[in-house]
């Protein structure tokens, strides 16, 4: 109980400005598309975890781990994009494209690892 009170007090003292979330923006097409990509990324992440459970350390295990990391980066980028769209907190404009670039790079690296194993 003391931890909860201390954390709450810390958050109250840390936050100097409070913004109301802008939920009216959810009907705009870019936000809906970001939400669809976010939910699709979570679905892909769950399926990747099931595939990793089936592989159990086989030859393709490393490439699927890289795919899983790519999906995690994709989900994080879309979550940051949605948080920025809802105006919960402000994010610099280069953060989302940087995380998306990381996700694409991880997907490419996973494909190259799978190709190396399958050759």
Establish if 40 belongs to a structural domain.
yes
Establish if 74 belongs to a structural domain.
yes
pLDDT in tens, 24-74: 777 788 889 999 999 999 999 999 999 999 998 889 999 999 999 999 999
Burial label for 100, CB within 10 Å (0-12, 13-18, 19+), is middle
- Res 18 pLDDT > 60: no
Establish if 2 belongs to a structural domain.
no
Most confident of 15-19, 26-30, 91-95: 91-95
- Better-predicted residue by pLDDT, 27 or 79: 79
Establish if 44 belongs to a structural domain.
yes
User: Is the C-alpha dihedral spanning 28, 29, 31, 35 positive or negative?
Assistant: positive
* pTM of the predicted structure, to 2 decimals: 0.79
Establish if 96 belongs to a structural domain.
yes
Distance between CA atoms of residues 89 and 18, nearest Å: 9
How many domains, in total, are found in the chain? 1
Compute the residue count for the chain: 119
Give the structural domain span for 94.
Answer: 22-118
Strands (E), 1-119: none
Cβ 76 vs Cβ 57: under 8 Å: no
Establish if 92 belongs to a structural domain.
yes
Q: What pLDDT is recorded for position 19?
A: 61
Establish if 95 belongs to a structural domain.
yes
């Amino acid at each position: 109980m003391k931890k909860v009170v201390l954390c709450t007090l810390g958050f109250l003292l840390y936050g100097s400005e409070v913004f109301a979330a802008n939920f009216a923006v959810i009907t705009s097409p870019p936000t809906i598309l970001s939400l669809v990509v976010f939910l699709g990324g979570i679905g892909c992440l769950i399926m990747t975890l099931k595939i990793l459970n089936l592989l159990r350390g086989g030859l393709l295990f490393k490439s699927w781990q890289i795919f899983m990391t790519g999906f995690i980066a994709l989900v994080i980028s879309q979550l940051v994009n949605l948080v920025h769209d809802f105006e919960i907190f402000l994010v610099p404009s280069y953060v989302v494209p940087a995380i998306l670039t990381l996700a694409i790079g991880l997907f490419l690296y996973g494909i190259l690892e799978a190709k190396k194993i399958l050759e």
